[in-house]
Chains A and B, each alone.
Chain A
Amino acid sequence: GQNIDQPTEMTATEGAIVQINCTYQTSGFNGLFWYQQHAGEAPTFLSYNVLDGLEEKGRFSSFLSRSKGYSYLLLKELQMKDSASYLCAVRARGGFKTIFGAGTRLFVKA
């Protein structure tokens, strides 16, 4: 089976840096995704990690440690529009299913 854990809610200040953690347990592993979802909208893709290490993409970075079953999403220079839910998702090895965690709701305050 698969289990994905991430914090339910986080609050941060505009202009700051926030790290959203995700831990997972899977019967196999073929990659980890981060998606952003604004209220009332569909999720949109942010990042995809297959190998260990840090992937940087503008203000957003994602880190993966396969041996620890751990990932984080780092958001820099927070903006009010970054207030959203951030979904960690895992694709199991040998399968085609992408399984999502419950998501972390991020509130950015002025």
Chain B
Amino acid sequence: NAGVTQTPKFRILKIGQSMTLQCAQDMNHNYMYWYRQDPGMGLKLIYYSVGAGITDKGEVPNGYNVSRSTTEDFPLRLELAAPSQTSVYFCASSLTDEKLFFGSGTQLSVL
């Protein structure tokens, strides 16, 4: 079992560029989440999904979009990248309301 897999691990973007952070889980979890973590801070919820075709906004959704076409995949799209989006991004999944399993993270810098 790979668990939760995130790609890429590192990325540098220029202001205004777009990119997609990939997230896949092989645990057949219904719930998936995207968090961002700024240096020395806790995790802020960006978007979450409770199943294929269902997504909802978290605490800090502005500047991001998500889709959930399959149970396994939950990509996060950044349009028009801004320096404020420099952060570490974590994808997570869970079985109903149980503990979260996290991916290894994507370190993103927008310059």
Residues of A near any B CB (own CB < 8 A): 4, 30-31, 33, 35, 41-45, 48, 87, 89, 91, 96-103, 105
In the complex, how many angstroms separate the beta carbon of A103 from the nearest chain B beta carbon?
Answer: 5
**Please, how many angstroms separate the alpha-carbon atoms of A31 and B31 in the complex?**
16
The reply to whether B48 and A42 contact each other, CB–CB distance below 8 Å, is no
Say yes or no: is B13 at the interface (Cβ < 8 Å to chain A).
Answer: no
Contact between A43 and B43 (Cβ–Cβ < 8 Å)?
Answer: yes
CB under 8 Å from chain A, chain B span 82-111: 90, 94, 97-105
How many residues of chain B are within 8 Å of chain A by beta carbon? 25
Contact yes or no, A43 B102, CB < 8 A: yes
Indicate if the CB atoms of A96 and B45 lie closer than 8 Å. no
Q: A31-B97, A87-B42, A87-B43 are in contact. Are A99 and B59 (CB under 8 A)?
A: yes
A97/B43 in contact, CB under 8 A: no
Q: Which of A30, A44, A91 contacts B102 (CB 8 A)?
A: A44
A30-B97, A91-B97 known; A100-B42 Cβ under 8 A: yes
Q: Are B97 and A42 neighbours in the complex by a CB distance under 8 Å?
A: no
Contact with A along B43-54 (1 / 0, CB 8 A): 111001010000
Distance of A35 Cα from B105 Cα, bound (Å): 16
**What are 19 pairs between A and B in contact, CB < 8 Å?**
A4-B42, A33-B99, A33-B100, A41-B104, A41-B105, A42-B90, A42-B102, A42-B104, A44-B102, A87-B43, A91-B97, A96-B50, A96-B97, A97-B48, A97-B58, A98-B45, A99-B45, A102-B42, A105-B40
